[in-house]
Structure 1
Amino acid sequence: MRVTVLAGGVGGARFVRGLRAALGDADDHEITVVVNTGDDLWLSGVRLQPDVDSILYALAGVNDTERGWGRAGESERVSAELREWGAGWPWFTLGDLDLGTHLARTGWLREGLTYTQVAERLASRWPIGVRLLPMTDAEVDTYVVVEDGSRLHFQEWWTRHRAALRALEFQNPGVAQAVPAPGVTDAIETADVVLVAPSNPVVSIGPILAVPGIRDALARARRVVGISPIIGGRVVRGMADACLSAIGVETSAAAVARHYGRRADGGLLDMWLVAEEDAGLAPDLAADGWDVRVTPLWMTDLERSAALARAATAE
């Protein structure tokens, strides 16, 4: 089975780990993950790709499961020294091991490698069992326009302000001129199923869909299945509700489904998975023509993540 996943963030990382476990190591399975790069940024002269690294570290088994980001067993001497110099963002801590990744990436970019080539080189360090593709080789960082009219990099709004400043708009400058990274559209069009991971619909999945050509590829895909990032009317992690409110979408599994839309109506999805806690929403969605399935969505351990992945890939 060929499976392509659109993903970003911790939710995407957990889901992809479960998918790998569900499919096993059989030679007849192939997993490609198209990763959001809208969270990327330049900081202290190095290029950070938070979603790429979160998924890479999780699949390699070297992620910090307690914090939910970065490497396990980190030290933070370099970040402390940067603060002493007044460099970088004092509220954005980079672990020393994580910084090694960013330095390697930046050096390879300076040598002329593309983001796709860098992702391949990083992934070759560990037997992660999937192909990681950035959504594009262009830089299309996410910016947030807040209530006073100022524009902040997404990481400042998310990490420093914890999404407390009311967002009016999310922007990805340059995305209209971007193209999908090599292999992305082919991975979508040739997959037996494309899975939209339970990642933030606005700032993780949204930038992927904004790259010209990706929605067209999804329209040609064999089958597209989405997994709700909302359980019982609440976000699973982070402040996705603040993102949804900014684009006028209610924090509910049904509202996110309608935000993505049915492929039969010109949207994205053929099937939508909702949590048992949201089973009451299924009849109304079904009445509107949705193929909606109710299944446990909490990914509290690898076994449950794998069970969710099996439900998402089942016919």
Structure 2
Amino acid sequence: MSKRLVVALSGGVGGAKLALGLSRVLSAHELLVVANTGDDFEHLGLSISPDLDTLTYVLAGLDNTVTGWGRRDETWSFMESIVALGGDGWFRLGDRDLALHVERTRRLRLGQTLSEVTADICTRLGIGVRVVPMSDDRVRTRVRGDAGWMDFQDYFVRQQCRPVVHELTFEGAALARPQADITAVLRSGQVRAVIVCPSNPIISIEPILAIPGMREAIKASGAPVVAVSPIIGGQAVKGPTAKMMRELGLEASAAGVAGRYGDLLDGYIIDHADADAISKIGARVMLAKTLMTSLHDRETLALVTLDVADMLALLR
């Protein structure tokens, strides 16, 4: 029997674009999307999972394509009222978006796992592919700036990535376990490819890989591992990827991202604008249009990524 299962590791906006493309060129039972939960935090008494939520909204066709986060056709009565009452308004929760956080928080307090809550929400929103958190255990990304350690969302949203980043840590990762479906799929012997979506390698993909046993399970799956660069021409398509890499002393380039993943990668897809970086990359490199501005772009890049994985599988 041919290997048909595809595992995609994803952060938020950039990763969700490729995840959507994969969901449209694969059947629902062929794709497992693993979401970073290092960005998760508690706000206004609610459990917020930004990357899971972005993936959920994108795959359900409910995402706000203008902002890249939150739901489309959003209203803001809740936030206006909270601020008027003296509450914290730096992390904006729209009225429609708020419903998801309230329901997630309620179920988690009843003892359900984040995986169980996510699976049911995806089903109710008509999402056929499996979307799972990287772990049901608590992992939190923390950033050290000039003023000391801060929660990631404080750095990312409240301070809008202004502080210089000196160090990152993933609190709880050392004691966390990979979500059960991830391990089961990777051990199934039926994995066609592991795709690393074009997400920030440091804050979106590395929290996933920091969970003990995750890298080993990916390698032991026997499947080609193919990443798509989130950087084009030395600039991140969206977000602070290039800024953070430079501040951490890393080369902010397609080659720098590949170096960060190291020997995990078998294949790497970069934009035509970065063709001169091929000689610096250890993995096999494919040039493609990696800027996804349309649904067609998402589907095309998904097909290219799968083709690269299939080619690498034949060369093994």
TM-score under structure 1 length normalisation: 0.93
* Aligned CA distance change for structure 1 residues 91 and 300 (closer, same or farther; 3 Å): same
1:205-243: per-residue Cα shift (whole Å, max 9, x none)? 010011111011112122111110111111100111222
Q: Alpha-carbon deviations, 1:2-49, whole Å to 9, x = none?
A: 1100001101111111111222x4x7x510001000110100111000
Distance in structure 1 (CA, Å) of the matches to 2:280 and 2:140 = 37
Distance in 1 between the 2:132 and 2:220 partners? 19
Structure 1 distance, partners of 2:89, 2:9, is: 32
User: Does the CA-based 8 Å contact 1:185-1:213 persist in structure 2?
Assistant: no
Question: 2:7 maps to what in 1?
Answer: 4
Q: How many residues align?
A: 302
Q: Distance in 1 between matches of 2:184 and 2:254?
A: 29
CA distance in 2, matches of 1:207, 1:59: 22
| Equivalent residue number for residue 35 of structure 2 | 35
SS in 2 for 1:251: coil
Tell me: CA distance 1:186–1:246, structure 2 relative to 1, closer, same or farther (3 Å): farther
Counterpart position of 1:115: 114
Residue segments in structure 1 that go unaligned for 5+ positions in a row: 262-266
> 1:155 — aligned with what?
153
* Paired residues of 1:116 and 1:182 also in contact (CA < 8 A): no
What SS does the corresponding residue of 2:171 show, helix, strand or coil?
Answer: coil
Contact 1:135 1:181 in 2 (8 A): yes
Shift of 1:162: 1.6
| 3-state SS, counterpart of residue 39 of structure 1 | coil
Structure 1 residue 303: deviation in Å? 0.6
Could you tell which deviates more after superposition, 225-234 or 215-224? 215-224
Q: Helix, strand or coil for the counterpart of 1:192? A: strand
Equivalent-residue separation in structure 2 for 1:86 and 1:245 (angstroms): 38
CA distance in 2, matches of 1:296, 1:50: 27
2:291 to 298, 301, 305: 298
Residue 218 of structure 2 is matched in structure 1 by: 218
Structure 1 contact 282–294 (Cα < 8 Å) conserved: no
List runs of 5+ in structure 2 lacking aligned partners.
312-316
RMSD (Å), alpha carbons: 1.3
Q: Is the 8 A contact 1:39 1:142 kept in 2?
A: yes
In 2: Cα distance, 1:187 partner to 1:126 partner? 24
Which residue is 1:264 aligned to? Answer: none
Look up the equivalent residue of 1:19 and give its one-letter code.
L
Supply the distance in 2 between the matched residues of 1:172 and 1:79 (Cα, whole angstroms). 30
Aligned residue identity for 1:278: D
Q: Is the 8 A contact 1:260 1:269 kept in 2?
A: yes
Q: Distance in 1 between matches of 2:212 and 2:206?
A: 12
3-state secondary structure, aligned to 1:171: strand
Given residue 159 of structure 1, which amino acid in structure 2 is its aligned partner?
Answer: V
Residue by residue over 1:166-188, the C-alpha shift from the partner in whole angstroms, topping out at 9 and shown as x without a partner, is: 01111221111111111112223
SS of equivalent to 2:38: coil
SS at match of 1:172: strand
Superposed, 1:96-111 pairs within 5 Å as 96-111=95-110
After the TM superposition, which segments of 4 or more aligned residues of structure 1 sit over 3 Å from their partners? none
**1:164: Cα distance to partner?**
1.1
Tell me the secondary structure at the aligned position of residue 153 of structure 2: helix
Structure 1 contact 6–35 (Cα < 8 Å) conserved: yes
Aligned mates of 1:283, 1:151 — CA distance in 2? 37
1:46 partner letter: L
**1:201–1:103 CA distance, 2 compared to 1 (3 A):** same
Distance 1:184 1:271 in 2: 21
Partner of 2:314: none
Q: Distance in 2 between matches of 1:177 and 1:260?
A: 22
Structure 2 letter corresponding to 1:59: L
What is the SS of the residue equivalent to 2:203? coil
Identity among equivalent pairs (%): 38
> What is the CA–CA distance in structure 1 between the aligned matches of 2:95 and 2:212, rounded to whole Å?
36
